[in-house]
Each structure stands twice: as structure tokens, then as C-alpha cells.
Amino acid sequence: MTTAPTKDPSAGSQSKPTSAVARVPSGVTRRILRRETHSSRSGATVVMLIVLILVVGYVGVEAVYAALGQPPLLFSPVDAVATLLSAATAQPALVIAAGIAAAILGLVLAVIGLTPGRRGRHTIDDDRVAVVVDDQVIAASLARNARIAGGLAPGQVTAWVARSSARITITPASGSTADTDAVLRAANDELGRIAYRPPVTAEARVTPNGRLGA
């Protein structure tokens, strides 16, 4: 995603400190940041490798039984085509269901392999180090600032951060109003000052129902 400033609440703080003295090769930094903000897909790969080991290992054992002319343990791979043929005529619904299940599994795997797998993290520019920040941290910081700006109690503010937007939800005490403008100004001020990449824009929302005793 390009870093086009979507909104400009504080033009002065938009000038990001570009690494003027790129003493660490920026290629390495970029590589680190890319690896840290995207999933490696190692989890899915390891799970599928283990499944593959179990299935192929079993087929191998059955192949040895078939080669020695022994009766199969459960099912001989030599009979696979014949079994499929008889099952397709005798139990078509079952075969169709199994085939669709395998196709769905394959589709899921292909999607896992093709999607970028972003990890809910933003980066901050720094001259020396590569920085990644969990979205959870950004949300917690926004919620705390909103609480201070709006004069609210800890349980009255929740914040939620996505790739390019943040939503702050305020639950005022019943009968009182919330200073949404102050909250939004504080949030955008903080987001402009810290200059996350990709940039985040905040929006504030007040829940329609207040809460007693909040």
C-alpha cells in the first residue's frame, strides 16, 4: 500500500523522519520488516507436512504388504482404482462427498499459500532499528489517550485498530454526553505524531445506549 496521506489533521507532523543516514543497509531493514509484518505460513506448512508424513508412510507400509503378497492391514494401494470404480457406482453420494471434502481442503490450502497473511502490525521509521508495533499496543495507547482527553473511566472506552483505520468506541454514562471531538482530536494527534506505516486514521463512535454506573 502506498503512503498517501488520506487525511491531514496535523500537516506539520506528517513529515516522516526518513532515514537520512541509512547506516544499516536499508535492504536488510526492509527485509526484516516484511518478514515481521507477514506470516511465514510455517504453522500450516508443518501441519500439512505431518499429515503428509502419516498418509504417505501408511501408503508405503501397505505397498510393502502388497509387494510381498500379504493381505493388506486396512486397504491395499494396489486396489485403489478398482475400489474407486466400484464405490462410484455403488455409493455415489459418499464418493461425491469425499471428493468435495478433498477439493475444499485443497482450496483452503491454496488460499493460505496465496494470501499475504498480514499479522496485524504496523511499523515506525527509525534511523537505527527496524520497529514493528502490535496493533494491540496502538489500540491500548489510543484508548488511554481517549480516556484522558474525554475524561472517561477506563471501562468506557474501547479501541480497535485495523490496517489503515482505528475505531474508538465510547460508552458514556447514561444521561451524559461524550466529548467525541476532543477524543477524535487526541487520537488523530497521536496517530499523526507517531506516523505508523501504513498510516492509520481514527474515527470515534458513541454507542447509542449509555450504561448506568459507568
Partner 1 sequence: MTTTNRFANRLFLIVLGVISLAVGLFVAATALPAAPLLRDWLTTARDAQSTALSNTRAGGNEPFDGSYLPWLLAVLCLLIVIIALVAVVTRGRGRTDRVVDLDENAGRVIVSSSFAETALVDALSSRRDVASVSVVAYELKGAPALKVRLRLTAGSAPTDAVQAASGAVRGLDRVLGGEAEIPVLVEVVGASPVRPGADSRVR
CA distance linking residue 59 with residue 53, whole number of Å: 10
CA distance linking residue 200 with residue 191, whole number of Å: 7
Which residue(s) pair with 38 in the sheet?
A: 118
Q: What is the DSSP string of 150-180?
A: HT--GGGEEEEE-SSEEEEEE-PBTT----H
Q: Is 162 in the site for partner 1 (CB under 8 A)?
A: no
Site string for partner 1, 91-130 (x = CB under 8 A): xxx-xx-xxxxxxxxxxxxxxxxx---------x-xxxxx
Q: To the nearest whole angstrom, how small is the minimum distance from the Cβ of residue 57 to partner 1?
A: 5
Question: Between 130 and 204, whose beta carbon lies closer to partner 1?
Answer: 130
Subset of 35-74 contacting partner 1 (CB under 8 A): 35-36, 40-42, 44-46, 48-50, 52-53, 56-57, 59-61, 63-64, 66-70
Subset of 129-158 contacting partner 1 (CB under 8 A): 129-134, 136-138, 140-141, 143-145, 148, 154
Q: Is 182 in the site for partner 1 (CB under 8 A)?
A: no
Q: Which of 192, 114, 191 is nearest to 159 (CA)?
A: 191
